[in-house]
Amino acid sequence: MEQLLKINQLTIDQEKYEQIDHNVLWLAKILEELQDHTDPEGDVSHPSETSFLEAKLKLLKKKSNALKDHLIIRGTVNTSYHTQCVRCLAPARETLKVDFSACFLHHSFKQQEEYHDITDIFCDGELMELYFYNKNAVDLYEYIHEQIFLNVNQRPLHNTDCKGLCPICGFNLNLGKCIHARK
Ligand SMILES: [Zn+2]
Ligand SMILES: [Zn+2]
Protein backbone atom coordinates (compact mmCIF):
# COMPACT_ATOMS: atom_id res chain seq x y z
CA MET A 1 0.00 0.00 0.00
CA GLU A 2 1.35 3.36 -1.04
CA GLN A 3 2.16 6.10 1.43
CA LEU A 4 0.08 8.54 -0.61
CA LEU A 5 -3.53 7.45 -0.73
CA LYS A 6 -5.14 8.89 -3.85
CA ILE A 7 -8.65 10.05 -3.13
CA ASN A 8 -9.75 9.80 -6.75
CA GLN A 9 -8.87 6.09 -6.88
CA LEU A 10 -11.45 5.24 -4.24
CA THR A 11 -15.09 4.54 -4.98
CA ILE A 12 -17.68 6.60 -3.16
CA ASP A 13 -19.50 4.75 -0.35
CA GLN A 14 -17.44 1.63 -0.86
CA GLU A 15 -15.51 0.72 2.27
CA LYS A 16 -12.02 -0.57 1.70
CA TYR A 17 -10.14 -2.64 4.25
CA GLU A 18 -6.37 -2.69 4.40
CA GLN A 19 -4.09 -4.61 6.70
CA ILE A 20 -0.44 -3.69 6.43
CA ASP A 21 2.71 -4.15 8.48
CA HIS A 22 6.36 -3.14 8.64
CA ASN A 23 7.13 -4.95 5.40
CA VAL A 24 5.68 -1.82 3.85
CA LEU A 25 8.52 0.69 3.61
CA TRP A 26 6.83 3.69 5.18
CA LEU A 27 5.69 1.64 8.18
CA ALA A 28 9.21 0.21 8.49
CA LYS A 29 10.42 3.81 8.72
CA ILE A 30 8.08 4.46 11.65
CA LEU A 31 9.16 1.27 13.42
CA GLU A 32 12.77 2.28 12.90
CA GLU A 33 12.07 5.67 14.42
CA LEU A 34 10.32 4.08 17.41
CA GLN A 35 13.39 1.97 18.02
CA ASP A 36 15.39 5.12 17.53
CA HIS A 37 19.09 4.46 17.69
CA THR A 38 18.79 2.62 20.93
CA ASP A 39 17.94 -0.85 19.66
CA PRO A 40 20.11 -3.08 21.83
CA GLU A 41 19.98 -5.83 19.24
CA GLY A 42 21.75 -3.72 16.71
CA ASP A 43 20.59 -3.09 13.21
CA VAL A 44 17.26 -1.29 13.40
CA SER A 45 16.83 -1.20 9.65
CA HIS A 46 16.07 -4.92 9.87
CA PRO A 47 13.69 -5.13 12.81
CA SER A 48 14.11 -8.44 14.57
CA GLU A 49 11.26 -10.90 14.53
CA THR A 50 9.91 -9.80 17.86
CA SER A 51 9.46 -6.18 16.82
CA PHE A 52 6.51 -5.37 14.66
CA LEU A 53 4.19 -2.63 13.56
CA GLU A 54 0.88 -3.38 11.96
CA ALA A 55 -2.00 -1.19 10.91
CA LYS A 56 -5.57 -2.10 10.14
CA LEU A 57 -7.34 0.58 8.17
CA LYS A 58 -10.91 1.04 7.02
CA LEU A 59 -11.15 3.63 4.29
CA LEU A 60 -14.40 5.17 3.21
CA LYS A 61 -14.78 7.92 0.67
CA LYS A 62 -17.98 9.93 0.93
CA LYS A 63 -19.42 12.81 -1.00
CA SER A 64 -21.93 15.35 0.22
CA ASN A 65 -22.96 18.86 -0.72
CA ALA A 66 -21.61 20.24 2.51
CA LEU A 67 -18.31 18.37 2.69
CA LYS A 68 -17.69 17.50 -1.00
CA ASP A 69 -15.33 14.51 -1.48
CA HIS A 70 -14.07 13.48 1.92
CA LEU A 71 -12.25 10.47 3.26
CA ILE A 72 -12.93 8.68 6.50
CA ILE A 73 -10.16 6.61 8.00
CA ARG A 74 -10.84 4.35 10.94
CA GLY A 75 -8.21 2.03 12.25
CA THR A 76 -5.89 0.52 14.79
CA VAL A 77 -2.14 0.39 15.00
CA ASN A 78 -0.37 -2.27 17.03
CA THR A 79 3.33 -2.20 17.67
CA SER A 80 5.95 -3.82 19.85
CA TYR A 81 9.48 -2.47 19.72
CA HIS A 82 12.84 -2.36 21.43
CA THR A 83 13.88 0.71 23.28
CA GLN A 84 15.99 1.67 26.26
CA CYS A 85 15.09 2.16 29.91
CA VAL A 86 15.28 5.91 30.64
CA ARG A 87 16.66 5.28 34.11
CA CYS A 88 19.32 2.60 33.67
CA LEU A 89 19.68 2.36 29.87
CA ALA A 90 18.99 -1.39 29.87
CA PRO A 91 17.06 -2.82 26.91
CA ALA A 92 13.32 -2.36 27.32
CA ARG A 93 10.33 -3.43 25.32
CA GLU A 94 7.31 -1.28 24.65
CA THR A 95 3.98 -2.27 23.19
CA LEU A 96 1.42 0.20 22.00
CA LYS A 97 -2.08 0.04 20.57
CA VAL A 98 -3.70 3.13 19.13
CA ASP A 99 -7.25 3.42 17.82
CA PHE A 100 -8.13 6.35 15.64
CA SER A 101 -10.77 7.80 13.39
CA ALA A 102 -10.47 10.85 11.22
CA CYS A 103 -12.23 12.69 8.47
CA PHE A 104 -10.14 14.31 5.76
CA LEU A 105 -11.64 17.25 3.90
CA HIS A 106 -10.20 18.96 0.86
CA HIS A 107 -7.66 21.62 1.88
CA SER A 108 -9.83 24.41 0.44
CA PHE A 109 -12.09 23.96 3.50
CA LYS A 110 -9.20 25.15 5.64
CA GLN A 111 -9.71 28.65 4.23
CA GLN A 112 -13.31 28.74 5.41
CA GLU A 113 -13.86 30.53 8.67
CA GLU A 114 -16.03 27.86 10.23
CA TYR A 115 -13.17 25.35 9.97
CA HIS A 116 -10.50 27.59 11.44
CA ASP A 117 -10.79 26.65 15.06
CA ILE A 118 -12.24 23.17 15.08
CA THR A 119 -10.32 19.92 15.44
CA ASP A 120 -13.27 17.52 15.39
CA ILE A 121 -16.10 16.98 12.98
CA PHE A 122 -19.29 14.94 13.10
CA CYS A 123 -19.13 12.62 10.15
CA ASP A 124 -20.61 9.21 9.21
CA GLY A 125 -22.39 8.91 12.55
CA GLU A 126 -19.57 9.80 14.92
CA LEU A 127 -17.35 12.59 16.10
CA MET A 128 -13.91 12.23 14.58
CA GLU A 129 -10.72 14.18 14.19
CA LEU A 130 -10.64 16.68 11.38
CA TYR A 131 -7.77 16.67 8.88
CA PHE A 132 -7.26 18.08 5.42
CA TYR A 133 -5.80 16.55 2.30
CA ASN A 134 -3.76 18.28 -0.38
CA LYS A 135 -3.50 17.52 -4.07
CA ASN A 136 -6.12 14.76 -3.91
CA ALA A 137 -4.04 12.53 -1.67
CA VAL A 138 -3.80 11.70 2.01
CA ASP A 139 -0.30 11.15 3.31
CA LEU A 140 -0.78 8.00 5.36
CA TYR A 141 2.77 8.06 6.67
CA GLU A 142 2.28 11.54 8.12
CA TYR A 143 -1.09 10.70 9.63
CA ILE A 144 -0.15 7.35 11.19
CA HIS A 145 3.20 8.69 12.36
CA GLU A 146 1.32 11.41 14.24
CA GLN A 147 -1.17 8.97 15.77
CA ILE A 148 1.66 6.80 17.08
CA PHE A 149 3.97 9.52 18.36
CA LEU A 150 1.17 11.32 20.19
CA ASN A 151 0.76 8.14 22.22
CA VAL A 152 4.30 6.89 22.60
CA ASN A 153 5.59 6.34 26.12
CA GLN A 154 8.29 8.97 26.53
CA ARG A 155 9.70 7.36 29.64
CA PRO A 156 10.02 3.62 29.04
CA LEU A 157 11.31 1.51 31.93
CA HIS A 158 12.89 -1.95 31.68
CA ASN A 159 11.05 -2.76 34.91
CA THR A 160 8.54 -0.59 36.80
CA ASP A 161 10.74 -0.49 39.89
CA CYS A 162 14.00 0.22 38.14
CA LYS A 163 16.33 1.98 40.59
CA GLY A 164 18.32 3.73 37.89
CA LEU A 165 21.95 4.78 37.88
CA CYS A 166 23.77 6.68 40.60
CA PRO A 167 23.86 10.32 39.45
CA ILE A 168 27.39 10.68 40.80
CA CYS A 169 29.27 7.56 39.71
CA GLY A 170 26.85 5.97 37.25
CA PHE A 171 26.71 2.67 39.14
CA ASN A 172 23.68 0.59 38.21
CA LEU A 173 21.65 0.62 41.42
CA ASN A 174 19.65 -2.41 40.31
CA LEU A 175 22.81 -4.40 40.96
CA GLY A 176 23.44 -3.14 44.49
CA LYS A 177 24.61 0.03 46.23
CA CYS A 178 27.53 2.28 45.53
CA ILE A 179 29.25 4.44 48.16
CA HIS A 180 26.89 7.33 47.32
CA ALA A 181 23.73 5.45 48.24
CA ARG A 182 22.07 6.95 51.31
CA LYS A 183 21.60 5.02 54.55
ZN1 LIG B 1 15.98 0.36 34.07
ZN1 LIG C 1 27.54 6.32 43.19
pLDDT digits (tens, 9 = 90+) for 51-86: 999 999 999 999 999 999 999 999 999 999 999 999
- Asked if the model's pLDDT at residue 88 lies above 90, the reply is yes
Q: Flag whether 10 is in a domain.
A: yes
- Asked if the model's pLDDT at residue 164 lies above 80, the reply is yes
Question: What is the chain's mean pLDDT, rounded?
Answer: 91
- Nearest ligand to the CA atom of 164: 1
Q: Flag whether 45 is in a domain.
A: yes
Q: How many domains, the chain?
A: 1
Q: Flag whether 122 is in a domain.
A: yes
pTM: 0.86
Q: Flag whether 105 is in a domain.
A: yes
pLDDT at position 135, please?
Answer: 85
Q: Flag whether 156 is in a domain.
A: no
Q: Flag whether 21 is in a domain.
A: yes
* Distance in Å, CA 173 to ligand 2 centroid: 8
74 lies in which domain range? 4-149
State percent of the chain over pLDDT 90: 83
Q: Flag whether 101 is in a domain.
A: yes
Q: Flag whether 154 is in a domain.
A: no
Neighbours of ion ligand 1 (CB under 5 A): 85, 87-88, 90, 158, 162
Q: Following CA atoms 98, 103, 106, 109 in sequence, which dihedral angle do they give, to the nearest 10 degrees? A: -110
- Nearest ligand to the CA atom of 156: 1
- Nearest ligand to the CA atom of 175: 1
